[in-house]
Amino acid sequence: DIVMTQSPDSLAVSLGERATINCKSSQSVFYSSNNKNYLGWYQQKPGQPPKLLIYWASTRESGVPDRFSGSGSGTDFTLTISSLQAEDVAVYYCQQYYNTPYTFGQGTKLEIK
Amino acid sequence: EVQLLESGGGLVQPGESLRLSCAASGFTFTSYAMNWVRQTPGKGLEWVSGISSSGGATYYAGSVKGRSTISRDNSKNTLYLQMNSLSAEDTAIYYCAKASQAYYFDSWGQGTLVTVSS
């Protein structure tokens, strides 16, 4: 199984500042035949199901604010929120969909400082 | 608008069985793979099982393989998860998740809570 490890486990950032969450996979999730990284990012607010933010490691889902961006390739990935807003308080998860079992990171809890 | 509505959760005793359902609407159900993902209260996410659009291919996490069966009824736009020999470790919120054509999960239901306890 591919193990997904996020860092940090929790993060406190001031409003308007940048937040950065890292995700590392135990093996590459890059598929060379189509040049894509099978890596997604999800946001989960309290009492709600997860919501897709980013897929293919860097493609923003429709309707997601452009302050959210994803980067990285192979085994190392980053989710960046360029200017933190109050509504961004949530737990963020990375997930690989390269192969089954699809696996998630343990989550990063983002709070306001 | 995609809507996924899970049902069938509840309190069951260890060793018992349960069937979860997910009623889908707002998209062409027959065109997309579907999945079950669970979340232990206060903990993270665990993919449980997936099924292809036709139902011809199924996939399971090791933690449920051999005691769970995923299925779908494309005539009813409904996804199912039959879980047997339940234990306390199966206590979780179970989400139904629609897969994109590339298998990331682009829509999620609100979840149904399964509690296994004597």
Q: How far is CA B15 from CA A45, B39, B81, B116, in A?
A: 33, 20, 16, 9
Compute, in degrees rounded to 10, the torsion defined by CA atoms A100, B116, B84, B36: -30
- Which residues of chain A are modeled with pLDDT < 70? none
pLDDT of residue B43: 73
Residue B39 burial (10 A CB sphere; 0-12, 13-18, 19+): buried
pLDDT of B44 over the 90 cut:
no
Note the pLDDT tens digit of each residue in B48-66: 999 999 999 999 999 999 9
CA atoms within 13 A on the CB side of A14: 2
Q: How far is CA B57 from CA A82, B46, B103, B113, in A?
A: 41, 20, 14, 26
Q: Which of B47, B102, B106 lies nearest to residue A101, judging by beta carbons?
A: B47
Note the pLDDT tens digit of each residue in B104-114: 999 999 999 99
User: Which chain A residue lies closest to B42 (C-alpha atoms)?
Assistant: A46
Q: Which of B61, B106, B108 lies nearest to residue A101, judging by beta carbons?
A: B61
The alpha carbon of residue B6 is apart from the nearest alpha carbon of chain A, in Å, by 12
- CB of B32 within 8 Å of a chain A CB? The answer is no
Query: For chain B, what is the mean pLDDT?
Result: 96
- CB of B102 within 8 Å of a chain A CB? The answer is yes
pLDDT of residue A73: 98
